[in-house]
Structure 1
């Protein structure tokens, strides 16, 4: 594809509209509504989200992770604490997540502070996972350099044999995080790039202010 063809890639959105009156007073309830609509529309992996973190001096990185729960406390996911994102969160808890439900022409952007979930919550979720996923968490030194794929698969096979008839212990370096939101933006694609953007900003521990942004 040449530069001109790339520059001409575009889509005019027309699936829906979004007004202040369409949205709920509580952004978590609004997210629940949109998330359920994404599930009902059979959007592939509606819980896939881009997680953006940064180093202590502000160098950003981003990757896709899976949302594993949400409530008034925030948005939860699980990972290796020694991974790149885990190390960055240990030094800089400011982070953002983005959902893009392209079939519905929608995005949700969330900014906030990330904290670790309790050991009890992490243990419970870890042991609810498929056994091979549990073993994979033990086998993979996430984000570290490894000599080859063969070594990784060999380690996986060894651990499968070791835990055939035993419970897999949750590694101490694996667990959950919750992003506690202070800003949530709902974006609905519209014609001529005049998109709808409704943003909730947290004023205090209980109060949200809802505003419209120019696209």
Structure 2
């Protein structure tokens, strides 16, 4: 098998710039703007981000999840409360999130802590999900070993039990919300002189500063 020439894989970043003056005082304003521009650019899953957690032994874990709500000071996502990541967040609520929009040459890094969303918020979101996704939430014992036949049997069981339009939210499924204390916005620039604007929470306000690339 031929070697992959990774050392010479590189590109110049020329799409845009980000100055301290142009960056708003509230990082949620900038995050919303960048999300809207990622959606307008028709990127695949523009609301996808890498969620990093660590278990009680300090072992880090990461996976891609979808942002499903942006309501300052919270970022919402949803999952099975009995999943591996839910267990990790119960052991250690400190998390990190990274958005990457390659076409726009942008990255956002977020650090903070996580808590469960109110039940009413989870109920409201679950009601908006397609029927198949609702049944999937019931049928999948997420992160546990299972055969394909067992999974299909569970799907058949719950789709028969809950007809379309009458699917309650499973008690073991719902939302989390990230409360950030650090948000960094990265805009690719020529010659690796990238723009990096860091926001640090100071009580009810945010301190903004530029970082060296």
Q: TM-score surpassing 0.5? A: yes
1:87-166 map, 5 Å:
87-146=87-146, 148-164=147-163
Cα deviation per residue 1:154-209 (whole Å; 9 max; x = unaligned)?
211222122226622211111100000100010001112111110100111x1111
- Counterpart for residue 200 of structure 1: 199
Contact 2:46 2:101 in 1 (8 A): yes
Structure 1 runs (4+) greater than 3 angstroms displaced: 1-4
- Counterpart for residue 173 of structure 2: 174
SS of corresponding position for 2:50:
strand
How many residues are paired up?
213
SS of corresponding position for 1:7:
helix
- Counterpart for residue 186 of structure 1: 185
Runs of 5+ in structure 1 lacking a partner? none
- Counterpart for residue 54 of structure 1: 54
Runs of 5+ in structure 2 lacking a partner? none
Cα deviation per residue 1:104-158 (whole Å; 9 max; x = unaligned)?
0000111101010011111111121111111100100001111x22221221122
- Counterpart for residue 37 of structure 1: 37
CA distance in structure 2 between the partners assigned to 1:56 and 1:164 by the alignment: 40
- Counterpart for residue 65 of structure 1: 65
SS of corresponding position for 1:20:
coil
Kindly report the root-mean-square deviation, in angstroms, between the aligned alpha carbons of the 2 structures: 1.4
